Amino acid sequence: MRPLLVDGPRVIGMTAPEDVVEGGALFIEDGVITARDAAARTRFSSLAAAGTAVERVAAAGLWALPGFVQTHVHLCQTLLRNGPDDLELLPWLEQHVWPGEAAHDTITLEISARMGLAELLAGGTTSILDMGTVRHTDAVFRAALASGMRVTSGNALMDDPATNPPYLHAETAEGLAETERLRLAWHGHEGRLRVAFCPRFAVSCTRRALEEAGEAARRHGLLVHTHASENRGEIALVRERTGLANIHYLESVGLAGKNVVLAHVVHTEESERESLAAKGTHVAHCPSSNLKLASGICPVPDYLRRGISVSLGADGAPCNDRLDAFSELRLAALLPKMSFGPRGIPAWDALSLATVNGAKALGLDGVGTLATGMRADFTLLDPEAGFTRPHAHRGDPYGPIVYSFSRENVVATYVDGVERFHRDRLDAFPLRPSGAEIEDAALTLRNRTRALLRRNP
Ligand SMILES: [Zn+2]
């Protein structure tokens, strides 16, 4: 890979609010930012003068921003978008998502994952934490490999026969062995793919599965990715079965700490919040999903004040229905104003959730800012695209990005210094399935889902 100079953008480094350089530059060697701004141009000139082949991307007028890190996504659900829109979590899972996931084969799942990854890249996202379905998770990793994105995923563990539908279920040992098989096959691949243990949520799993997943994750240095305290019905079920508040139950089975990412965490008691802060357990905030499933509003400013780690995710396509970091950013900044006042989450803080905090939650040390020495994961934004051009009187870039920008501002997305999406080169974007492929896969899924529901009313 030739060294690359990204020349002239406004560099928004995200190391501190002041880290904004007009007419800056990034110099990238072997996927790493080795120099910035004036030093980047000097390095480019000296290498070019010495006869080294170097590339240059003219980026004057654009804004360079660290790629978004989304810490809760379901690529397996992209093809289930635009399902029933007006349901709460538990009926929505039972009537739409679980049969839809169970209907996948490797072909439909790979198409679903490619659709999701293409949409994420086109919206400036470079890293995700994904949750697979129970089977065929290799298809997700194949799509992830083709995308060039930084993807952590794993098969969903659903081993409790009392709570899972018979068609979406794997015995305890079978589910755990599948994660181990995926680990050996995919973990560390190209430095970008990683495997996580993904118990779906406390309700779906036996105590033994949760304990063994936590133990194996610690032994192998893997993340645990699960849902927690999204919905009051779910919390009541956990209390009925265990006698404990959900976060305390998860803690009691070893699912707490810096390698654990809990999606949602909307409804928590004081002692649960104290525990999240003390253990360093991460919260993935998914505001669109929480609104659409009428789950509630996560008290993010309170969590942040306590030192709880919070990052952002779009969740799955059927509860959003976009996999778009800009939508989540905007809601993450707007929603807290109702309960916490206008400075509940200022724009800089919201953008930190979507970049630096996400990288920390996933343990991606070299990702999340555009400092020298970091991986070159970034997106180039065109501030003049669309109809929301920022005015000169607005000094910092954070308000415009959080409140007015959208996916139409994304020009290109790079991971490890390689262009993975460019709005003017969609022909060279094979990740995106064709319309015919999507129609075929969607029809297959719909027919199989109906058959499953007929057999299991
Ligand atoms: Zn989810």
Q: How far is the CA of 284 from the centre of ligand 1 (A)?
A: 10
Q: How far is the CA of 178 from the centre of ligand 1 (A)?
A: 20
Q: How far is the CA of 322 from the centre of ligand 1 (A)?
A: 13
Percent share of the chain, pLDDT over 70: 99
For residue 13, what is the DSSP state?
Answer: -
Does pLDDT of 245 surpass 70?
A: yes
Tens-digit pLDDT profile for residues 196-228: 999 999 999 999 999 999 999 999 999 999 999
What's the mean per-residue pLDDT of the chain?
Answer: 96
Options 3.60.10.10, 3.90.930.12, 3.20.20.140, 3.30.70.270; CATH of 67-361 = 3.20.20.140
Q: Rounded to an integer, what distance in angstroms lies between the CA atom of residue 67 and that of residue 377?
A: 5
Q: How far is the CA of 388 from the centre of ligand 1 (A)?
A: 31
pTM above 0.95, yes or no: yes
Cα torsion at 328, 331, 332, 335 (round to 10°)?
-160
> Are the C-beta atoms of residues 167 and 452 closer than 8 Å to each other?
yes
Phi, psi (5° rounding) for residue 131?
A: -120, 120
Q: How far is the CA of 316 from the centre of ligand 1 (A)?
A: 6
Domain boundaries, the chain: 4-65+373-428, 67-361
Q: Is 225 helix (H, G, I), strand (E, B) or coil?
A: strand
Options 2.30.40.10, 1.10.1740.10, 3.10.180.10, 3.30.450.20; CATH of 4-65+373-428 = 2.30.40.10
- The beta-strand segments (E) located in 239-376 are 260-264, 282-285, 309-312, 315-316
Residue 392's pLDDT band, with cuts at 50, 70 and 90, is: low
Tens-digit pLDDT profile for residues 161-198: 999 999 999 999 999 999 999 999 999 999 999 999 99
Q: Which residues of 241-270 are buried (b: 16+ CB within 10 A; e: fewer)?
A: ebebbbbbbbbebbbbbebbbbbbbbbbee
Q: How far is the CA of 319 from the centre of ligand 1 (A)?
A: 9
Distances (CA, A) of 134 to 85, 171, 226: 24, 11, 13
Query: What local confidence, expressed as pLDDT, does residue 274 receive?
Result: 98
Q: Rounded to an integer, what distance in angstroms lies between the CA atom of residue 200 and that of residue 132?
A: 9
Q: How far is the CA of 376 from the centre of ligand 1 (A)?
A: 28
Neighbour tally for 338: CB within 10 Å: 9
Q: How far is the CA of 263 from the centre of ligand 1 (A)?
A: 7
Does pLDDT of 391 surpass 80?
A: no
Does pLDDT of 316 surpass 70?
A: yes
Instruction: Give 419's contacts (C-beta < 8 A, 6+ positions apart).
Output: 412, 413
Q: Is 432 helix (H, G, I), strand (E, B) or coil?
A: coil
Does pLDDT of 260 surpass 80?
A: yes
Q: How far is the CA of 201 from the centre of ligand 1 (A)?
A: 9
Check if 4-65+373-428 and 67-361 are the same fold. no
Q: Rounded to an integer, what distance in angstroms lies between the CA atom of residue 64 and that of residue 255?
A: 37
Q: How far is the CA of 18 from the centre of ligand 1 (A)?
A: 34
